[in-house]
Structure 1
Amino acid sequence: MSTPEPIIHTCFEPRTSTWQYVVADPSTKSAVIIDSVLDFDLSTSTISTETADGLLSLVKENGYTVRHILETHVHADHLTASRYLQQQLEQTNPDQTKPAICIGKRIHGVQERFAGRYGIEKAEYEGAFDRLIDDDDVFPLGELQVQAMHLPGHTPDHMGYMVGANVFCGDSLFNTDVGSARCDFPDGNAHELYASEPRAYTTVAEQKEANKHLKAGTSEAEFVAWRQGRDAGLAEPRLLHQALQFNIRAGRLPAPRGGRSAGLGTGCCMSR
């Protein structure tokens, strides 16, 4: 008997080049949202919700009930819409129970590191996520299951999510013409990323044939030398400082300070 497969909606956000996913069980209409984007205008430091509202419209049009809002890792190139989506889903659908915002269990170390860099109090991020997912955790999605997979290398907290025969692997693996993710963030590791990649091939056999960094026959030494050499010349992500401050709080704005709302400043530069 074949394994039932989910309905997958792929939603590309072009300003940050982010793939978002709505994944649903066709039988029960239970769904998860993976790696959502909140719009941020760097020139004016303003937030808007056009992209996130598009996800909400898709959910409503298809009659889905969102059970979990999943993050593969703390993104450095976009702000997460997880908190906004959670609030809107809970408020607008009387049948919708509060969907849990979930991330891998190693988020603690990432939060502590960047809270120190940006002067964020522990109370602002502690307990920000509703559920911390352990390696190989399995949880239901209607009549399907979601299995968590630890995929370190790009970041130490990086998780993938397997639903049916599909692995949603975040930034650990890109399209074949792009290859693999950078590994120069704190605690990133090209050796670990190389070791993570075979797990992401579960449903993308063409990666072995055509991935410009990791096609079949590429040794670990070859990959690590190329990846580290490439990373040494990369500029930091455009929304790095704003995204990290926002995302370790699971999509919450900074607490008001001195009678006014705190902004998402540029903070200090990251060292490698």
Structure 2
Amino acid sequence: MPSCVIQPFFDATTCTVTYLVHAGPGTACAVIDPVLDFDARSGRSATQSVQPVADAITSQSLRLEWILETHAHADHLSAAAWLHERFGGRVGIGRPITQVQSVFRSLFHLGDACPVDGTPFDHLFDDNEVFTIGELQARALAVPGHTPACMAFEVGDAVFVGDTLFMPDVGTARCDFPGGSAATLYQSIRRLLALPPATRLFMCHDYPPPGREVRWECTVAEQRAGNIHVRDGIDEAAFVAMRSARDRTLAMPNLILPSVQVNIRAGHLPEPESNGVAYLKIPLNAL
């Protein structure tokens, strides 16, 4: 298999890393977890974060085959639909997105505006499903716990872990969203940490402690030796107790209400109403 080129793009506002993955200029590519900017105060969306990704695709004459979502994010809106409109490709996510769609269609009272069969995603990945990005071979790995639909993507010796893991000095993601489970997350993490020690792990986010620059890459060995929540020697019971107690102290993410109702629809914004304006919903006293 040809070598895998990984180009990261960090969005400082949401602390999200988008990845462009390919085998070199003129080849097929995948974009993982693209960010659409959203200002909750004004209700305006923008494309400053995703535009450099688009520019890189164009400048390297890449063909966009896949737009991969590791899960339905609660901290940023997805730019998948924007990229798909400009470059084509297929938008893919884990098959259990249907469970997430069902829960949030009810919460936001979206009705037929939000299908619960996985559409408008183009492809729903099963666990261990093998697929290609041009000449690169890839594999989808189910890693539920943060959400039921969390999926990591393995390309060569690199694994894009979504919110399953953070950098070792930050730990792990919360598990108190609908369908989340600390025990399930522990098992998903141990699955990832059973990969060869030199396997490179690429985070979806970094929230660095004071004094450390932003980083998004480490190895399985580094996580097993130093992750503050789930390093070797921390068993499932201890992890679940820690994670559950910690989650009870966390506020909701700033953009959870706008982001989830967009992201369960593959990044598509709501259709404009009769006055030409599109609206997002905010459920009152429901969370």
Same fold? TM cut 0.5: yes
1:83-102 alignment runs, 5 A limit: 83-89=81-87, 98-102=88-92
CA distance in 2 between partners of 1:228 and 1:58 (Å): 41
Choose the corresponding residue for 1:112, options 91, 94, 102.
Answer: 102
1:4-23 alignment runs, 5 A limit: 4-23=2-21
8 Å contact 1:4–1:164 — kept in the other structure? no
CA distance in 2 between partners of 1:188 and 1:6 (Å): 32
8 Å contact 1:139–1:147 — kept in the other structure? yes
Displaced runs of 4+ in structure 1, greater than 6 A? none
Percentage identity across aligned positions? Answer: 40
Give the drift of 1:140: 1.1
Give the drift of 1:266: 2.4
* 1:108 maps to amino acid: T
> Partner residue of 2:241?
225
Give the drift of 1:138: 0.7
Give the drift of 1:60: 1.4
1:242 matches 2:262 = no
* 1:105 maps to amino acid: R
Give the drift of 1:87: 0.6
> Partner residue of 2:205?
none
* 2:45 maps to amino acid: I
CA distance in 2 between partners of 1:48 and 1:22 (Å): 20
Give the drift of 1:18: 0.5
1:79 matches 2:69 = no
Give the drift of 1:64: 1.4
Question: For 2:77, what is the secondary structure of its paired residue?
Answer: coil
1:54-203 alignment runs, 5 A limit: 54-89=52-87, 98-125=88-115, 127-201=119-193, 202=195, 203=199
8 Å contact 2:25–2:61 — kept in the other structure? no
8 Å contact 1:110–1:248 — kept in the other structure? yes
CA distance in 1 between partners of 2:144 and 2:259 (Å): 20
CA distance in 1 between partners of 2:25 and 2:129 (Å): 23
Q: How many residues are treated as equivalent by the alignment?
A: 261
Give the drift of 1:264: 1.7
> Partner residue of 1:95?
none
Give the drift of 1:155: 0.3
**Higher deviation after alignment, 20-29 or 188-197:** 20-29
Q: 1:28 and 1:165, CA in 2 relative to 1: closer, same or farther beyond 3 A?
A: farther
Q: 1:260 and 1:53, CA in 2 relative to 1: closer, same or farther beyond 3 A?
A: same
8 Å contact 1:75–1:243 — kept in the other structure? yes
Q: 1:87 and 1:229, CA in 2 relative to 1: closer, same or farther beyond 3 A?
A: same
8 Å contact 1:31–1:64 — kept in the other structure? yes
Q: Deviations over 1:5-47 (max 9, x none)?
A: 3100111111001011111123862110000000001110100
> Partner residue of 2:232?
216
Question: For 1:50, what is the secondary structure of its paired residue?
Answer: coil
Q: Please, what TM-score do these two structures have when normalized by structure 1?
A: 0.91
CA distance in 1 between partners of 2:125 and 2:100 (Å): 15
Q: Deviations over 1:59-87 (max 9, x none)?
A: 11222111000001000000000000011
CA distance in 2 between partners of 1:171 and 1:120 (Å): 26
> Partner residue of 1:92?
none
* 1:162 maps to amino acid: E
- Structure 2: tracts of 5 or more residues without a match: 200-218
8 Å contact 1:254–1:261 — kept in the other structure? no
CA distance in 1 between partners of 2:65 and 2:283 (Å): 35
Give the drift of 1:135: 1.1
CA distance in 2 between partners of 1:39 and 1:148 (Å): 27
* 2:20 maps to amino acid: V
**Higher deviation after alignment, 218-227 or 23-32:** 23-32
* 2:133 maps to amino acid: L
8 Å contact 2:101–2:114 — kept in the other structure? no
Give the drift of 1:124: 3.7
* 1:224 maps to amino acid: V
> Partner residue of 1:94?
none
Question: For 2:252, what is the secondary structure of its paired residue?
Answer: coil
Q: Please, what TM-score do these two structures have when normalized by structure 2?
A: 0.87
